[in-house]
Each structure stands twice: as structure tokens, then as C-alpha cells.
Amino acid sequence: MVDPAPAEALGTSLAGVSERRLLVALALVQFVNVLDFMMVMPLGPDFVQALGIPSSRLGLVAGSYTASAAVSGLVGMLFLDRFDRRKALVVSLAGLALGTLAGGLATGLGSLMFARVLAGAFGGPATALGLAIIADVIPPARRGQALGAVMGAFSVASVFGVPAGLELARLGGWRVPFFAVGALCGAVAAGTALSLPSLTLHLRAAEKVPPAGALDVIRRPVVLIAMAASWVTMLSVFMIVPNITSYLQFNLGYPRARLGMLYLVGGVLSFFTMRVAGRVADRFGSSAVVTFGTLLFIVATVTGFVFQHALLPIIVVFALFMISGSFRMVPMNALATRVPRATERARYMSIQSTVQHVGAAMGAAGSTYLLVEQPGGRLSGMRNVALGSVALALLLPLLIGAVERRVRAAAG
């Protein structure tokens, strides 16, 4: 059964903390979490030179993080709803900080993957808890707008964080971004512990309506369809994402020195479009917005990665790729918060985190077997990777439409 009740049914008293302050805190959590993950991929060419990692195996670095986050999601679904969400979030952020700092001490592919496994083990639950908190506090009618604001941290990480990480790596070496982001994660963990009140609305609700078991949640048809949508999205995206910088640099001849500007432009655009996507999804529904985002994704993928030369300027391709994520991820996550009951949200989001990270890991690792590194770092096989990504992306609007119909029927 889908929970049709608004979050106010739980009561939204947050010990004097305003909704805006809560969303700012969660945006900071999202920022450091996304930055920790995103900064690794643009540094791929630096790992190739400094650690001797083959460029065709860079997907394993991203895949190790996502695989670990997937496992931690499976474990987290068993107990996350039993704790104060603030305390659980602080522990997750502290663990993420340690894993990121460990990345700066890596000496080869094995140790770098180990550090990313540690970071992923805590980064996955942090994302799930943030989404659960928003669903607890923000009513469905404004949830898309709230998620758009919080997920705008993804764009901020692209606009400021990724270029800053690239510049720090250029000036001080590839280890410096890991140390900087690890310290920032620790600061956000401390700030979260000091600034937010206890978040136990779900525990009060559980006293009245005991939560269902994890298997009972997974067996619901609407949950299975929603999880399939999450898996398809991440699988299609991460067939492309870990290889973007290497492909642009070695195949299309895009200058390494201008990668920061590329992320700056794409990040600025996606920051604004995420907020737009949330508002539009609240008004017109998730299915229509996801369909539009899927069309943008297909255009970006086909024009940038199918042919030997990009059909559009690289900066346009990259911008379309980033914007398409706004119009797919924001409405999909807004819809996902309406699927579980209030007492099951962290559990559900933890399951979703697992499914998303499994999809991302499969896409990242799978692409390494379709790609072959040629002399000079060029990648062959990208056409097949891109066409496979497009085929998967076409399934998303159908799945989201099925979820939205069931959610509306339950709410009605």
C-alpha cells in the first residue's frame, strides 16, 4: 500500500528549526556526498599517470564505491528506521569523511578501490536518510520543489566543487582533493550534529502503525516497478559517466585544462533546471517531466558519443547531459517518497539506494568490458556503450508512468 498521507500527519515540529534551515542542512549533506563521488571521475586521467591505472579500468574505481553503497543499503534497510535520523546521518557523514581521507593515501588501484569501498559504505545511507527526512517533514504537494532545492547541491558540486578539485589536483597533486573533501565531510558532520534537532517523527508514527518487514515492502508491485525505474536510470547513466572525461580528452581532443569550465557551465545550468524540474513535477506530475528529461538524455548521448566526432559542440553535449539528469532524477525521487508508508521511508530509501548503486556499479563495470584502450589513451567501443545506454533509457518513462498511476490511485 502506498502512503497517501501528507507529512503533516506525523506533526512537523522541529524544535524551532525552520523548514528552510533544515533544507539548507540537507543540501550541505547532499553537496559533500555528491562531491565525494563526483570528484573521482574527472581525476581519472590523473590516476592513469600517477598510479599507473589503465584508462579502460577507471570504471572499477567508481564501481567499487557504488557496489559498496549497494551492500550498505541492504544492511541499512534492516535497522535505519529504528534510530533518530539525525544521529544516523551524523554517523554516516563521519564514516564518509574517513573513507575519503583514506583515498588520499592510495598507492595503486587496489588501495584506491578499498578507500572508495569504505566511502561508499557510509555515503549510501547518508543519501537514503536525507531523502527520508524530506519525506517526513515536507508534504507531497511541495516535495518536488524541496527535492529540487536540495538536489541542487549536485549542481553546486559541479559548478564549484569539481572545478576546485581539478584545480587543487593541478596545483598540489591528485591527493589534495581527497584530503580537502574529507575535511569538509567532517565539518558537515559536526554541523549537522550541532544544528539539527532530533528527528524522530517516524518513531512516533511507528508506535501507532508498526512498520512492515523489509520483505513485505519489497514484494509490493508498486515498489518493484519503482525499483526497476531506479535501476534502469543509474545503469544507463553510468555506462557513460565514468568514461566521459577520458573520451572527451583522448578521443575528441578536448583540452584537460578546460575540463573545469565544462563542469562549471553544465553545473550552473543543472542547478537552475533542478529547481524548475521540482516545481514542474509538482504541477504536472513526474511522468511528463521524466519523459522530457529522457529525450534530452538521448539527444546528448547520440550526438556526443555514438559517432566518431561529436555532432554538436562538446560544451552543448555536456550541458544537455547534465540538464537531462535534472529532469529525470528530481521528479523520480519526488515520486519515490510517496511510495512507502511514513514508518518505512528510511528502509525504502535504503533499498532504493541499493538498487541505484547496483545499477551504477553494473553500468560502470560493464562499460569497462565493452571498451578497449588504444594507444594514446583513446577508447574504442564507445558507440556500443552509448547505444546500449539509450536503449535502457527508453524504458524509464514507461516505468515511471506505471508507478505514478498506482500512487495516484492509492491516494485517491
Q: What is the pLDDT of residues 79-133, one digit of tens each?
A: 777 888 889 899 999 999 999 999 888 888 888 889 999 998 998 888 888 888 8
Band (pLDDT 50/70/90 cuts) for residue 397 is: very high
Least confident range of 38-52, 188-202, 270-284: 38-52
At CA 310, angle to CA 304 and CA 312, rounded to 5? 85
Mean pLDDT in the chain?
A: 83
The yes-or-no verdict on residue 3 having pLDDT over 50 is no
The yes-or-no verdict on residue 34 having pLDDT over 50 is yes
d(CA 162, CA 223): 34
Interval 168-186 mean pLDDT: 89
DSSP annotation string for 61-111: HHHHHHHHHHHHHHHHTTTGGGS-HHHHHHHHHHHHHHHHHHHTT--SHHH
Which candidate, 329, 172, 319, places its Cα nearest to that of 244?
A: 319
Q: Which contiguous run of DSSP H or E holds residue 25?
A: helix 19-38
**Identity at 169, one-letter amino acid code:** A
pTM of the predicted protein model: 0.72
Interval 335-350 mean pLDDT: 80
The yes-or-no verdict on residue 56 having pLDDT over 90 is no
What domains lie within the chain, and their CATH numbers? 18-411 (1.20.1250.20)
d(CA 135, CA 117): 28
Band (pLDDT 50/70/90 cuts) for residue 213 is: low
Q: Is the pLDDT higher at 291 or at 243? A: 291
Percent of the chain with pLDDT over 70: 90
The yes-or-no verdict on residue 402 having pLDDT over 90 is yes
The yes-or-no verdict on residue 77 having pLDDT over 90 is no
pLDDT value of residue 215: 66
pLDDT value of residue 158: 65
pLDDT value of residue 10: 37
Residues 6+ apart with CB under 8 A from 167: 260
Q: What are phi and psi of 302, to 5 degrees?
A: -70, -45
pLDDT value of residue 173: 85
Q: Is the pLDDT higher at 362 or at 99? A: 99
Interval 185-189 mean pLDDT: 93
The yes-or-no verdict on residue 378 having pLDDT over 80 is yes
Band (pLDDT 50/70/90 cuts) for residue 200 is: confident
Q: What are 372's strand-pairing partners?
A: 380
The yes-or-no verdict on residue 161 having pLDDT over 50 is yes
d(CA 225, CA 285): 17
* Contact between residue 183 and residue 98 where contact means Cβ atoms under 8 Å apart: no
d(CA 45, CA 32): 22
